[in-house]
Amino acid sequence: MSNLEIPGYTVGTWTVDPVHSEVGFVVRHLMVSKVRGGFTSFEGTISTAADPLQSTVVGSVDLASITTNNEQRDAHLRSADFLNTEGDPKMTFRSTALRPGGSGLVCEGDLTIRGITHPVSLDVEVNGIGPDPYGGTRLGVSASGQINRADYGVNWNAALEGGGVVVSDKVQLVLEIQAVLDKATSPGAP
């Protein structure tokens, strides 16, 4: 058992609450600014184990739900130039290891986009575990990481006249997750 201490830690299965969660990204645009976006349709499960470092995470994102607050850009991102949402509608993540790191935890896992899978590391901060006003228990985590979109076959780009490219290959992943404990999976459940 690890010596990791998380106040209110509870063993069980947690379902991501999409109404109170965000799956987002940040990418450099035109070499001068950053564009932020996210997905409005996603699901996930966190299974907390007696040893927190044996916990697991699985999730999937409906790529067609991408939004950057610009419909023309979003349509281009859904196309075969970028996410190819008609051919590969889901992005998936499955954890492979959890370890202490940085100011919290590091979640190692396999990220699949466009049918291509690569390992990714996410820095995770457990924000809290506690009761909600509906008789349930909530878990809140923040996670961030970085991927190279070209690793997943997302290669479209255009050169800028003054040098550089329209879209950077580096993509920051930003997640704010709130999950609800399935009471039937926690110890002492009826």
DSSP assignments along 130-164, one per residue: EE-TTS-EEEEEEEEEEEEGGGGT-----B-TTSS
Backbone angles phi, psi at 183, to 5 degrees: -55, -30
- Supply the pLDDT for residue 189: 53
Token pair belonging to 115: 């049918």
pLDDT band of 169, cuts 50, 70, 90: confident
Helix (H) or strand (E) holding 59: strand 56-62
- For 95-142, the pLDDT digits (tens) are 999 999 877 899 999 999 999 999 999 999 999 999 999 899 999 999
At residue 49, the 3 state secondary structure works out as coil
Q: What is the mean pLDDT of the chain?
A: 88
Helices vs. strands in the chain: H and E counts, helices first = 1, 11
State how far the Cα of 34 lies from the Cα of 159, in Å rounded to an integer: 17
Q: What percent of the chain has pLDDT over 90?
A: 68
CA dihedral 187, 121, 93, 33 (to 10 degrees): 130
pLDDT band of 34, cuts 50, 70, 90: confident
Contact 108, 119 (CB under 8 A): yes
Distances (CA, A) of 42 to 38, 87, 133, 175: 10, 18, 24, 11
pLDDT band of 159, cuts 50, 70, 90: low
- For 69-82, the pLDDT digits (tens) are 999 989 988 999 88
At residue 53, the 3 state secondary structure works out as helix
- 56-62 and 33-39 as β-strands: parallel, antiparallel, unpaired? unpaired
- Supply the pLDDT for residue 165: 43
Q: Is the pLDDT of residue 171 over 80?
A: yes
> pTM, whole model, 2 decimals?
0.89
Mean pLDDT of 8-26: 96
Domains of the chain: 12-181 (2.40.128.110)
- Supply the pLDDT for residue 157: 57
